[in-house]
Amino acid sequence: MRALTLPWRADKAGGDRSLQGIVALVALVLLVVVASLVSLSSGPTGVGLPELWAYATGNGDSLAAQDRVVLEAVRLPRTALGLLVGAGLAVSGAMMQGLFRNPLADPGIVGVTSGAALAAVVAIVLGPTVLLPLTLLFGNQFLPLMAFCGALVNTWVLYLIATQDGRTSTTTLILSGIAIGALSAALMGMLIFMADDRQLRDITFWSLGSLGGATYGRVLSILPFVAVVIAIIPFVARGLDALVLGDAAAFHMGIPVQRLKKIVIIAVAAACGSTVAVAGSIGFVGIVVPHLLRLVMGPSHRFLLLGSALGGGALLLIADSVARTVAAPAELPIGVITALFGAPVFLFLLLGKGGIRMRDMP
Amino acid sequence: MISAGNITVTRSGRKLLDDVGIDLHPGCFTVVIGPNGAGKSTLMKVLSGEMAPDEGSVSYFGTAAHLHPPAELARRRAVLPQAVQLSFPFTALEIVRMGAVAQGALQPTEQARKALTRVGLRGFEARPYPSLSGGEQQRVQFARALAQVPAAVVDGIPRALFLDEPTASLDLGHQISVLEIARDFAAAGGIVLAILHDLNLAAEFADHLVVLDQGRVVDEGASMETVNDRTIGSVYGIAGAVGRLPAAHIPFVLPQSRHR
């Protein structure tokens, strides 16, 4: 296969890509380290790698107080948030593709992100009035929880419509995703009509997506969601592999199919919803990262899911660094960068490059 | 022994299976034949524990099938489904390995290589499954089933192999070799159930032949007793075709003639 052009090719190892997967995971860890350094050292102020090194080795006294504030209050939370958001987006994409047995499934494309964004807007507009008791009850977690519920409802509805008798039709999946996304957008339009000026600004932020305004509070509100999703990876990886052969074959191989699907749907909604809550809708990470990784390490979820978490974090940090520097001191919305990169990859996928052919899909 | 009693399955008001009983014995190669829509695949789904019947029950060695968790059923029986298509480029080895993992193998990769060799696909390990021909894909799936039940008997308990049209997209040579592997599995004390459309192969390989028509078992027994003009005529609507040579101007190929 053209896609496998690495020195440790599958055909040399007799079809076993385990080593390939492990090597790729190690490389991804290094990539995350590099991307974090890039993210911590880039920006309009003069804090670069030397200052970062001085700070990390304990010679922080030599730094100007202003630089310390930039690092501690701005860049560290922003880098941590970027890693978590990128990991959440990419893992939810990879899990969704496994659930639907379809490399084109992506929370952004099939309307799950819109559901989360709609719920976030509901929380912003109705939170201070109609939903005040809930706002007071959940505090800072109210927005992430609402986004999670919005993503969950849309994933579930999508699954019920697009998968019948254990088979998912690509056409039904994409078309019903578009309809669900359109419905969410329409409801969002009604809420925007009701919103006041301050709420409008918040909503604009959600629709574009950004890591700007990252705080430790936001890092803490997304952390439990992403941590839980990453923690369940070892328990769903084998099941998702078996599910690629179909519901029946997965059951024959001892997978409790219905339970697996419920867990994966909830995980997708948790990862997608929480990222939308803290960073708005950032598209295409969920489709680009798993796809590129399949070319490198093969499609087995044993390595793909963890690899997506690492690769998604790294990709988002790099995209964010670009967003901060190309138009400095102004900042491009990060969703623009990921779409500029991701949409062509998506089209490339539809062309049938990279070992995936539309006609092989159910 | 795997047995099903009084199985009835109704879908959209139509009885797919109507009061069917069947016993699968260790060491016996059972073959189900019947026209399209007779309920063969439905029967296999019920026997493998995949579908719960509306009436009746299935038992694995005295315990109801639905009481076994899926992982435990997976160690007792493997199923070869009809054509499986993938939208992700797993290699042949990775597909077969899944069967070995389901069995709980300590060295699943090695077991997968052995199973591929057994079905004559040595050297195909690294080939992406979507790039294989229909017949090769079917044999990879067969290897996956074999990797899931590598031994016919474990700790005195027979394992079972369920094959849904295992010969469907294979050439004659591979049809015979797949059925020979299944027959060896039965001869070693395992349970084999296969759905076949080719009556010649069914007649040759079946220790026990079950004829299904419109959801009912219309005849069963040794193939000498079941493949006769009366049964074949009434079930398939083709009379006078059993044991007669065709007209002199039509050549014919009978797989069982190779034994003469």
Mutation site for A-interface testing, chosen from B95, B98, B159 by largest number of A Cβ within 10 Å: B98
Residue A12 confidence (pLDDT) above 60:
no
Q: Is residue B256 part of a domain?
A: no
DSSP readout, B194-211?
A: EE-S-HHHHHHH-SEEEE
**CA nearest to A257 within chain B:** B70
- Give residue A353's pLDDT: 55
- How many CB atoms lie under 10 A from the CB of residue A8? 14
Could you tell me what percent of chain B has a pLDDT over 70?
A: 100
- How many CB atoms lie under 10 A from the CB of residue B91? 28
| Helix H or strand E encompassing B143 | helix B134-148
The answer to whether the CB atoms of A294 and B88 lie below 8 A apart is: yes
Return d(Cα A9, Cα A17) in angstroms, integer. Answer: 8
Say which residues have a Cβ less than 8 Å from residue B60's Cβ, sequence separation at least 6. B2, B68, B73, B76, B77
In tens, the pLDDT along A139-184 reads 777 888 888 898 888 888 888 888 776 666 667 877 888 888 889 8
Max Cα distance, chain B (Å): 58
Arithmetic mean of pLDDT, A50-69: 73
User: pTM, whole model, 2 decimals?
Assistant: 0.88
- How many CB atoms lie under 10 A from the CB of residue B147? 27
What are the C-alpha distances in Å from A268 to residues A67, A96, A165? 38, 7, 22
Q: Is residue B4 part of a domain?
A: yes
The answer to whether the CB atoms of B98 and A17 lie below 8 A apart is: no
Residue A243 confidence (pLDDT) above 80:
yes
**CA nearest to B45 within chain A:** A248
The answer to whether the CB atoms of B90 and A18 lie below 8 A apart is: no
**CA nearest to B98 within chain A:** A242
Question: Phi-psi category of A45—alpha, beta or left, where left has phi over 0 and alpha has psi -120 to 50?
Answer: beta
In tens, the pLDDT along A288-326 reads 999 999 988 889 999 999 999 999 999 999 999 998 888
Mutation site for B-interface testing, chosen from A11, A243, A252 by largest number of B Cβ within 10 Å: A252
Q: Are strands B157-158 and B153-154 parallel, antiparallel or unpaired?
A: antiparallel
Map out the domains of chain A with their CATH numbers. Answer: 76-360 (1.10.3470.10)
**CA nearest to B110 within chain A:** A16
Half-sphere exposure (CA, 13 Å, Cβ side) for B245?
Answer: 6
The answer to whether the CB atoms of A10 and B91 lie below 8 A apart is: yes
Write out chain A residues lying below 8 Å of B130, CB-based.
355, 357, 360
Report how far apart the first and last C-alpha atoms of chain B are (Å, whole number): 34
Q: Is residue B105 part of a domain?
A: no
Q: Is B220 helix (H, G, I), strand (E, B) or coil?
A: strand
The answer to whether the CB atoms of B95 and A245 lie below 8 A apart is: yes
Helix runs in chain A, H state only: 18-41, 49-56, 65-69, 76-100, 112-126, 132-138, 142-162, 170-194, 197-208, 216-231, 233-243, 247-252, 257-279, 285-297, 301-325, 334-350
Arithmetic mean of pLDDT, A43-68: 73
The answer to whether the CB atoms of A360 and B86 lie below 8 A apart is: yes
Mutation site for B-interface testing, chosen from A245, A247, A308 by largest number of B Cβ within 10 Å: A245
- How many CB atoms lie under 10 A from the CB of residue A300? 24
Report the alpha-carbon angle A324-A328-A332, nearest 5: 50
Residue A329 confidence (pLDDT) above 80:
no
What are residue B2's phi and psi, to 5 degrees? -105, 125
Residue A62 confidence (pLDDT) above 70:
no
The answer to whether the CB atoms of B74 and A253 lie below 8 A apart is: yes
- Give residue A10's pLDDT: 55
**DSSP state for residue B58 in the 8-state scheme:** E
The answer to whether the CB atoms of A242 and B127 lie below 8 A apart is: no
Answer for the pair A268, A112: CB distance below 8 angstroms, yes or no: yes
The answer to whether the CB atoms of B91 and A255 lie below 8 A apart is: no
**Position A104 confidence tier, pLDDT thresholds 50, 70, 90:** confident
**Position A68 confidence tier, pLDDT thresholds 50, 70, 90:** confident
**CA nearest to B125 within chain A:** A15
Return d(Cα B235, Cα A258) in angstroms, integer. Answer: 38
Residue A8 confidence (pLDDT) above 80:
no
Q: Which amino acid would we find at residue B163?
A: L
Say which residues have a Cβ less than 8 Å from residue A260's Cβ, sequence separation at least 6. A236, A239, A240, A243, A250
The answer to whether the CB atoms of B87 and A242 lie below 8 A apart is: no
- Give residue A139's pLDDT: 73
Arithmetic mean of pLDDT, A57-82: 80
Residue A11 confidence (pLDDT) above 70:
no
Residue A361 confidence (pLDDT) above 90:
no
Query: Shortest Cα distance from A98 to chain B (angstroms)?
Result: 9
Q: How many domains does chain B have?
A: 1
**DSSP state for residue B251 in the 8-state scheme:** -
Mean pLDDT of chain B: 92
**DSSP state for residue B91 in the 8-state scheme:** B
**DSSP state for residue B245 in the 8-state scheme:** P
The answer to whether the CB atoms of B74 and A242 lie below 8 A apart is: no
Work out the burial of residue A26: count CB atoms within 10 Å of its CB; fewer than 13 is exposed, 13-18 middle, 19 or more buried.
Answer: exposed
**Position A9 confidence tier, pLDDT thresholds 50, 70, 90:** low
- Give residue A6's pLDDT: 47
Mean pLDDT of chain A: 83
Q: Are strands B2-11 and A163-164 parallel, antiparallel or unpaired?
A: unpaired
B126 closest CB neighbour out of A10, A241, A252: A10
Write b or e for each residue in A90-118: b if 16 or more Cβ atoms lie within 10 A of its Cβ, otherwise e.
bbbbbbbbbbbbbbbbbbbbbbbbbbbbb
Closest CA to A282 of A87, A150, A145, A86: A86
- Give residue A61's pLDDT: 65
CA dihedral B81, B86, B90, B91 (to 10 degrees): 60
More confident residue, A58 or A32: A32
Residue A336 confidence (pLDDT) above 90:
no
Q: Is residue B170 part of a domain?
A: yes
The answer to whether the CB atoms of A252 and B48 lie below 8 A apart is: yes
- Pick from A133-142, A193-202, B139-148, B228-237: least confident: A133-142
In tens, the pLDDT along B147-180 reads 999 999 999 999 999 999 999 889 999 999 999 9
**CA nearest to A105 within chain B:** B87
Question: Phi-psi category of B238—alpha, beta or left, where left has phi over 0 and alpha has psi -120 to 50?
Answer: beta
Work out the burial of residue B5: count CB atoms within 10 Å of its CB; fewer than 13 is exposed, 13-18 middle, 19 or more buried.
Answer: middle
What are residue B154's phi and psi, to 5 degrees? -125, 125
Residue A247 confidence (pLDDT) above 70:
yes
For chain A, list residues whose CB is within 8 angstroms of any CB belonging to chain B. Answer: 1, 3, 9-18, 101-103, 238, 241-242, 244-246, 248-249, 251-257, 294, 298-300, 355-357, 360-362
B93 closest CB neighbour out of A9, A12, A15: A15
Enclosing domain of residue B48: 1-68+157-240
Write out chain B residues lying below 8 Å of A361, CB-based.
87
SS (H, E, C) B20-49: EEEEECCCCEEEEECCCCCCHHHHHHHHCC
- A&B contacts, CB < 8 Å: 113
Query: Shortest Cα distance from B143 to chain A (angstroms)?
Result: 13
- Give residue A333's pLDDT: 83
Q: Is residue B165 part of a domain?
A: yes
- CATH number reported for the structural domain that contains residue B36 in this entry: 3.40.50.300
A256 closest CB neighbour out of B70, B78, B93: B70
A300 closest CB neighbour out of B74, B94, B128: B94
Residue B117 confidence (pLDDT) above 80:
yes
- Give residue B40's pLDDT: 94
Q: Is residue B258 part of a domain?
A: no
Write out chain B residues lying below 8 Å of A246, CB-based.
81, 84
Return d(Cα A247, Cα A258) in angstroms, integer. Answer: 9
Say which residues have a Cβ less than 8 Å from residue B183's Cβ, sequence separation at least 6. B29, B192, B205
Return d(Cα B221, Cα B200) in angstroms, integer. Answer: 16
Q: Is residue B254 part of a domain?
A: no
Return d(Cα A284, Cα A303) in angstroms, integer. Answer: 20
Residue A7 confidence (pLDDT) above 50:
no
Q: Is residue B91 part of a domain?
A: no
A102 closest CB neighbour out of B81, B87, B92: B87
The answer to whether the CB atoms of B88 and A244 lie below 8 A apart is: yes
**CA nearest to A238 within chain B:** B98
Query: Shortest Cα distance from A354 to chain B (angstroms)?
Result: 10
**CA nearest to B123 within chain A:** A14
Arithmetic mean of pLDDT, B8-29: 93
The answer to whether the CB atoms of B50 and A252 lie below 8 A apart is: yes
- How many CB atoms lie under 10 A from the CB of residue A291? 25
Site of tokens 């992506």:
A106
The answer to whether the CB atoms of A16 and B109 lie below 8 A apart is: yes
Write out chain A residues lying below 8 Å of B79, CB-based.
248-249, 252
Report the alpha-carbon angle B15-B18-B19, nearest 5: 150
Work out the burial of residue A331: count CB atoms within 10 Å of its CB; fewer than 13 is exposed, 13-18 middle, 19 or more buried.
Answer: middle
**CA nearest to A243 within chain B:** B86
Return d(Cα B83, Cα B174) in angstroms, integer. Answer: 16
More confident residue, B63 or B161: B161
- Give residue A148's pLDDT: 87
